[in-house]
Every structure is written in C-alpha cells, then in structure tokens.
Structure 1
Amino acid sequence: MSPPASVVLLISRGGTGVEASLGGIESAILQQAGDHPPQLLRFSLPAGQGVDAREALARVLSDLAMEGHASIGVTGLFVVPGHEYHVMRRTLRAACEAVPGIQVRVSPALLSTCASLEVVVKALLEGLPTERMPGEAVIFVGHGHRAGRCDLHYQALAHGLNRVDPDVHLACLGGGLSFTGLKSRLLSQGYRRAFLLPLMMSTASHARRDMAGPDPNSWQSRLEAVGMTCTPVFKGLGEYSGIAAWIAGQALKN
C-alpha cells in the first residue's frame, strides 16, 4: 500500500470571513506542490478557548492517525505571533497529548521574520486598488493588541510600506498605532480621499464593523465626519497572490 499523501491543516480563528483567504492559500499550495499535492484540511478555532476546541482538534488528529499519518503540517492564518497564534499552539499541544504517536509541525505567523516582512510589503503594494489616484491615501487596518504586545511587528510593516509609498499608512484597532494618531497624520497631510483595507485574513466582523461599518465610531464614519471620502475594500490577506505564495511555501516546507 502506498503511503498516504502529506497533510496540511489550515487553522483559522472564527468561522466567517476567511473563505477567500483560505481559497487563495489552498490554490497556492496546490500550485506549488505540483504532482504531489497534499491533503488539505480546514479547522476553525471557536471564538473562545477551552476543552471544546482541544477535543475537536484531537478528533481531527485522531482520524488522521487512523489513516496512517504520523506527522501533520499546520499553518495558522495569523498575521503576527501574538495571543491568538499562541492560543492555537497551546491548543495543538493539548490535542496532541490525546493522540499518542502523532506530531505536528507549525508554520510561523506571517510577520515573523524580516524575509516575510519584505514579502508582505511587496504583495500589499502590488495589490493596491487600481482605481486609486496619485496622492490618495491607502489605510491598512490591523487588529493589534490593546496592551501593545504586537506593536513592533506592525510598526515594522508600517515603516516598510510608508518608505516605498508615503501615502500608504497602517494603524490598528488596538495598541500604539492608534486611529487617533492616524487621523492627525491624514489631516495634516491634507488627504481628501482614502481607501480602507483590512490587514487581516478575515473580511468579516472587524472589517465590516470597526473599519467600515455604519456605526458613528467606525473608522470610515469618523474620517468622513472630518470631510474625507472613504472607500472600503474588503480583501483578505490570503487574496494577495504574493502573501498566499509565501504562506504556501512555508506550509509545504513543513
């Protein structure tokens, strides 16, 4: 009997808004794999954390072990190696303890190295809205962490983007790269129009509520209240071909 195909398990957080990113990454994996495609599986971590997530993931690993797999490649759809990324790793460790003999190899989060940072800068700038005119602002909206634990990763990316295109900005819903600082910069530079894009794998709740929702506290509403025209673009990070290709390469390296 021939050995089973290798397995790539793609783990995302929450169940909505990541389909397009997952599709882009899966397509890139299959393209790079050529004649030896891996088995692709998806797993969505619930919004909370606890026994249910560990047991569900343990069942997935147990099924794979019964199929003859001893080692699984895991790729999490996480931008930075922050809280949620480490929750995933802890959940995986706990699940593996329930399935003796199986091992998992976890790819790093997207913004983990200088090399991946350069890839992300290039991919984002190549994927800017085609209808954008010279001098119009582009704002990438990251998740961030309220205590600023991921600020260095986001600051490095913000610097890389702005160094190449001074009209491209990055700020986060939480942490030191705040909306308040962003708004001051935009107003001081006299922008009349801005494109808002999520720096996230998902284009669901944060993008459609906090970034560009109808609530007066959304970023779009607050910028339009000071006279700017805002155009939201709901595009997940996995839909950028360069980012999908990088993630695919890391997944297959596993």
Structure 2
Amino acid sequence: MPKTKTVFQLVILVSLCLFLSPGAWAHGHAHGHKKPDKRGILLVAFGSSYPQAQASFENIEARVKKAFPQVPVRWAYTSRIIRHKLNEKGKHYDSTAMALAKMMDEGFTHVAVQSLHTIPGAEFHDLRSIVTGFESMSCGFEKILLGYPLLSAPQDLVAVRDAMLNTIPEERKAGEAVIFMGHGTHHPSNAFYQAMAHSFQQEDPNVYVGTVEGSPSLEDILDRIEDKGTDTAYLMPFMSVAGDHVRNDMAGPGADSWKSILADKGIRTEAVLKGTAEYNTIADIWLDHLQDVFSHL
C-alpha cells in the first residue's frame, strides 16, 4: 500500500466493504470486473521488542519464502504494547486487522493467515475472530483461511515432542534435567502444556514442561527434581522467541527467575536462549499448517 494512504482511509475502505451488499458485489462480477487472482501470506505472531528475538521470525520467514517463492509475505503482531515499543524505536508493525486491510487495498484476492502462536489460546481465538470478520466482507477477499498454531491436534504433540527432544544440547548427561519453559494461560487450551509434559515424561522422565502463567508451574516440578537428587538442569524455551520471559523469568539474574530459584536449591543450570522457531524442525511444523491451508485457497 502506498505510504500516503492513511489509517483513516483504510478504515473507510473496510467500512465500505462491510456495508456494501452481496448483491452489489455479485453485480460487479457479472460485468467482468472480477479482480485477477493475487495470493498472499500473512504471518501473525504475538511479537517481541527484543532484537535477539528477531532470529526466530527471520527463520520462519526464510522457511516460508523458500516453500512459497512467488508468494508475497506480510507480517502482523497481535500485541499492541509490543507494536508501540517498536514504533518508538522507528520500527513499524501492523495489527492483524490493519495488515489485512492493507492487503485488501493492495488487491490481494486469496490470503492464507498463519498463526505463529504455540497453542490455540485467547490470542489465537482473537485472531480467528478477525479473520472471520474479513471473510464475511462482501467486497473483501475472495478467500481467506487461517492456519493453526504449533499445537492444535494430537499428531502435533508427537511431532513437537520429537523435534524438541532433538534440540537438547548434546553435552547433556544422563540424569540431568531439562526444563522447557512455556508461557501458560488461564484459557482451557493450557491443557496442551499438560499434555506435552506427559508426552515428554513418557520418552524421558528427566524432561519437564513448566509454565510462567499456567500449569504445570516450576513449583510442580521442583519436588520431583529434588527427590531424584538432580544437580544440573538445562533451561530451554518452549516459546517461539527468546524474548522477555526467556531472558528475565527463565534465565535472568532476579531472585524470582527460574535460574535463581534452582540455584537456591543447589541445582546448577545451563540456559539455552533460543526460541523454538529458530529450529527448522519446529518451524516446519508451523509451515506444514500453512501449506495445508494454502492448498485450499
């Protein structure tokens, strides 16, 4: 979209589409005014203001562009706070609605929206509502489809488990713990973290999943680790990016970080500051979801 376009103009564009009748849109098609097909991809993440976290997004984008070399790729961040922080640094990212409005203005007819969230929680459901809104516009896209987050089906649990087990540093010794830190949520989809925790335990009883804001928590894990006499634990993100939670809540110097809490228990820690989307084997699971929806455009 040309830079001279304003937010106000985009709002007017979307508003007109909402109020135009399906009959008027069909009338335009009948007179040969159907737009030529133009397919695009919108990648949607929560976002991060940490420069180091961009490695995850860059890797995802590279994988997507390799798989779809002729398809334009756009980005949107769902976090208003993150967008505001980046804007203050001179880096502009659109919300999902704004990104889709711009794509509509650019003449895209078919759009695959791919969620880069880990679970189908509140953020994903908000995203789905926005996509549904654009889908209902009578003069909007001819087709718009939404790809599922990393964990959305039973087969994803197996694929993600196997991929993440392969990311554990080779120097880890038998008996040493690995704790994956997830975000966690009060949304019912938090059950995916609990399911992942169980799945890891079936393969390796010294691999755990904890969450910052859900269940299991670090406290749920500590007693089990201490009972085994574990003296070393690897801390690894179960988040797409190594952003604020990873660098502060997981591996930060503060007294309430997981690293500090474990140190107080006499457990030495090794922190891996690498988001899941930085690993091709995990990024490709998101890509599989995107390829599925794109094939149905």
Q: Same fold (TM over 0.5)?
A: yes
TM-score (norm 1): 0.87
Aligned equivalents of 2:190, 2:163: Cα separation in 1: 21
* Structure 2 gap ranges (5+): 1-35, 83-93
Choose from 62, 65, 74 the match for 1:30: 65
Per-residue deviation, 1:183: 0.6
Give the 3-state SS of the residue equivalent to 1:150 in structure 2. Answer: helix
- Superposed displacement of residue 168, structure 1: 1.0
1:197 to 217, 222, 236: 236
Alignment of 1:232-251 (within 5 A): 232-251=271-290
Q: 1:166 to 1:174 in 2, by over 3 A?
A: same
By how many angstroms is 1:48 displaced?
5.5
Say which SS state the counterpart of residue 183 (structure 2) adopts.
Answer: strand
Matched, 1:188 2:227: yes
How much has 1:241 moved relative to structure 2? 1.6
Structure 1 segment 1-254 matched on structure 2, within 5 A: 6-17=39-50, 18-33=53-68, 36-47=69-80, 56-94=95-133, 100-102=139-141, 103-145=143-185, 147=186, 149-254=188-293
One-letter identity of the residue aligned with 1:66: D
- Counting aligned pairs with the same residue, the percent is 30
For the residues of structure 1 that align with 2:288 and 2:77, how far apart are their CA atoms? 21
Deviation at 1:137, TM superposition (A): 0.8
Return the index of the structure with the highest Cα Rg.
Answer: 2
Bigger mean CA deviation after superposition, 188-197 or 236-245: 236-245
Q: Is the 8 A contact 2:77 2:96 kept in 1?
A: no
Q: CA deviation at 1:30?
A: 2.9
Moved more, 58-67 or 103-112: 58-67
Q: Can you list the C-alpha shifts for 1:139-176, whole angstroms capped at 9, x where unaligned? A: 0011111x363332111111111211221111111223
3-state SS of paired residue (1:144): coil
Q: Secondary structure at the match of 1:141?
A: strand
* Cα separation, 2, equivalents of 1:172 and 1:58: 29
Q: 1:59 to 1:171 in 2, by over 3 A?
A: closer
- Conserved? CA contact 1:32–1:249, under 8 Å: no
What is the total number of aligned residue pairs between the two structures? 245
The code of the aligned residue for 2:58 comes to G
Q: SS where residue 105 of structure 1 aligns?
A: strand
Mapped to 1, the partners of 2:103 and 2:251 lie a distance apart of 41
Taking structure 2 as the reference length, the TM-score comes to: 0.75
CA RMSD across the alignment: 2.4
Whole-angstrom distance in 1 between the partners of 2:37 and 2:106: 7
Distance in 1 separating the partners of 2:46 and 2:66: 25
